[in-house]
Structure 1
Amino acid sequence: MNCIIIDDDELSRTVLEKFIKRTGFLNLMNSFKNAPDSIPYINRRGDIDLIFLDVEMPEMTGIDFMKSLKNLPQVIIISAKQKYALEAFEYDVTDYLLKPISYPRLYKAVDKAYNRYKENNNTKDKKDGFFIKNNSTLVRIKYTDIYWVEALENYVGINTKDSKYTIHFTMKAIENELPSSIFTRVHRSFIVNINKIDIIEENTIVLKVTKGIKTIPIGKSYRDKLMDDINLVAK
């Protein structure tokens, strides 16, 4: 789970960073000492799953911050005061922790967040596709029709056997949208549909498409995961 910290207390941020590093399923993306600086980052990335949020901060309180976001990720409140709890839970926060926090109490909260995260992903896996905007038309793309996705600077290209759709999205965000049961990241710039792979030659994947073949490089750091994801019956 990708997470960030928003807390004006430097000591609190340091403790949280230490605890997050101890928790294998958490990936700390960034840490902010005020809420306004975090908003452009959250909106730009689109892949933040969890926010550790203080309430009493200068410029913008944690409550006002939650009010300001249209798509609020899961939030765990980290506060020195209990009086904000009732209002915080109106925004469906995952948990409310009082400072100073202990690692066992934090782990209990993030485990709850992780279970919610997995439930959301399971729901996503039951869908069979999504819609994208193509000019003035909404086009439905089935997961099973996608062969590969590639990074194109600030866009991604979604490739089917016969067509290509370019949308304004990050690779991480589209990776989160695609079901992990049939898609895997094989390179910093490529995600492939496992069921469309015809041949793997050393560090290259070969896909058969209408106009011939498409070759995709396998990044060194992604190869082991690819070998785990495919149905390899003999080594």
Structure 2
Amino acid sequence: MSFTCIIIEDQLQAQKVLERHISNVSHLSLLGVFNNALDVVHFLKSNTQVDIVFLDINLPKLNGIDFLRTFRPKTSVIITSAYSEYAIEGFDLDVIDYLIKPISFNRFFKAISKVIYKESAITDNLESKQFLFVKDGHNIMKVVLRNIVLIKSDSDFTTLILQEKKLLLSYSLKFWQQVLPKNDFFRCHKSYIINLRMIDKIVGNTIYINEKRIPIGRTSKEALIKKINLI
């Protein structure tokens, strides 16, 4: 199991410590380092495959606690701070862990282990699913997961493309991202989730599945390459 992560930290020395710790954990991949939380808001809109956010509290423009309160990122958040007084509020906002600077590698790895445990429990539950039921108008439809080719966002709906048919459903792409097994499905673009086992080839920034062309950004492609190497 591999995880992508970003750092939100305005102090260069603290950035370097986290970068070094991340580089020493083989299943962590650093996607970016940001000096303020506002830049991350724009980044997360186009890069949905961020698993872990290392978040400082005292940041310019928007502090870490306000960032969590306002934007509620759908990722595992680990707070990194020189101050302990925000810990209770941080845990109330469902952060995974609260690391006090200076951060040792042992303490860092303990926090990462919590993420691994949490995601493993979720994945084990999802992986046991072979099908799910969805509402299609007035009908309840059974969808066998292995038959899903891809899912495309279409305004307030999603088009579920199966091997034998298509369904236009009133579910968001975020819903599908939450209910589908992460080992088999990947959100490669803000508008697409693909079944990894259906990929025919990847050429440049394009994924080919059953002669369909699906775009993928550079950052998402790096995460995808790492993921498919595990299959």
Q: The TM-score by the shorter chain falls in which range?
A: 0.5 to 0.7
Q: Whose relative contact order is higher, 1 or 2, with alpha carbons under 8 Å and at least 6 apart? A: 2
Secondary structure of the corresponding residue to residue 58 of structure 1: coil
Secondary structure of the corresponding residue to residue 46 of structure 1: coil
Aligned partner of 1:30: which letter?
Answer: G
**Match of 2:123?**
121
**Match of 1:74?**
76
Query: In 2, Cα distance between the equivalents of 1:139 and 1:46?
Result: 28
What are the Cα deviations for residues 39-68 of structure 1, in whole angstroms up to 9, with x where unaligned? 121233222211101011121111101101
Secondary structure of the corresponding residue to residue 15 of structure 1: helix
Aligned partners of 1:94 and 1:109 also within 8 Å: yes
Structure 1 unaligned regions, length at least 5: 198-202, 205-213, 230-235
Change (3 A) 1:151 1:18: farther
- Give the CA RMSD over aligned residues: 4.0
What are the Cα deviations for residues 124-158 of structure 1, in whole angstroms up to 9, with x where unaligned? 22334457798999966330332x33899xxx975
**Match of 1:164?**
166
Structure 2 unaligned regions, length at least 5: 187-191, 202-209, 213-223
Query: In 2, Cα distance between the equivalents of 1:30 and 1:138?
Result: 42
Aligned partners of 1:47 and 1:176 also within 8 Å: no
Change (3 A) 1:165 1:20: farther
What are the Cα deviations for residues 151-198 of structure 1, in whole angstroms up to 9, with x where unaligned? 99xxx975323213589859xx95993353xx488xxx964548xx9x
Change (3 A) 1:44 1:192: closer
Q: Give the percent of matched residue pairs that are identical in Structure 1 and Structure 2.
A: 27
1:83-232 equivalences in 2 (<5 Å) = 83-129=85-131, 141-146=143-148, 148-149=149-150, 158-164=160-166, 177-178=180-181, 180=183, 183=184, 191-193=195-197, 214=210, 229=231
Deviation at 1:118, TM superposition (A): 1.2
Secondary structure of the corresponding residue to residue 107 of structure 1: helix
Query: In 2, Cα distance between the equivalents of 1:176 and 1:47?
Result: 15
Change (3 A) 1:25 1:175: farther
**Match of 1:207?**
none
Secondary structure of the corresponding residue to residue 49 of structure 2: coil
Deviation at 1:32, TM superposition (A): 0.7
**Match of 1:36?**
38
**Match of 2:220?**
none
In the comparison of the two structures, how many residue pairs are matched? 200
Query: In 2, Cα distance between the equivalents of 1:18 and 1:69?
Result: 28
Aligned partner of 2:41: which letter?
Answer: I
Aligned partners of 2:159 and 2:166 also within 8 Å: yes
Secondary structure of the corresponding residue to residue 108 of structure 2: helix
Aligned partners of 1:149 and 1:192 also within 8 Å: no
| Aligned mate of 2:61, from 36, 47, 59 | 59
Q: Return the TM-score normalized by structure 2.
A: 0.67
